[in-house]
Amino acid sequence: MADLFIELVSEDIPARMQLKACADLQRLVYAALDDLGLGYAKADADNARLVSSRHLALYVSDVDDQQADRIVEKRGPRVDAPEQAINGFLASTGITREQLVEEDTPKGRFLFARSES
């Protein structure tokens, strides 16, 4: 677990905008951490956000050091597609033909590339 501290320094922030700007910063950082699949400890607004006329700061504790492993699946062309289309798909994924998986879908038989990240 790690701690994350973000501080933004700017020109004068009007007093009426300071609290909302800091709340927006917290919301955006929490959303980004959620999108990345990183866990963290949500803190009370008063303890996590710091604001002044030229600074916005956010403190997030217990942020995961790394993302959990996940399988990324990318659907490619149909099995009976031209060889040029299959080669283009292979080039875009960086894998070999032997690593592709064939699967039946409601729209036909397709090639899939699976990788762990």
Asked if residue 46 has pLDDT above 80, the reply is no
DSSP state of 99: G
CA nearest to 1, candidates 46, 48, 38: 38
55-86 pLDDT tens trace: 999 999 999 988 888 777 888 999 999 999 99
CA nearest to 111, candidates 87, 57, 44: 87
Note the pLDDT of residue 43. 75
Asked if residue 45 has pLDDT above 80, the reply is no
Note the pLDDT of residue 56. 94
Would you mind telling me the total number of residues written for the chain in this entry? 117
CA nearest to 114, candidates 85, 98, 106: 98
Average pLDDT over residues 38-50: 80
Asked if residue 54 has pLDDT above 90, the reply is yes
Q: Which two tokens stand for residue 9?
A: 């320094």
Asked if residue 29 has pLDDT above 80, the reply is yes
Using a cut of 0.85, tell me whether the model's pTM lies above it.
no
Note the pLDDT of residue 117. 65
CA nearest to 58, candidates 3, 10, 1: 3
Mean pLDDT for the chain?
Answer: 89
Q: Which two tokens stand for residue 76?
A: 């490619």
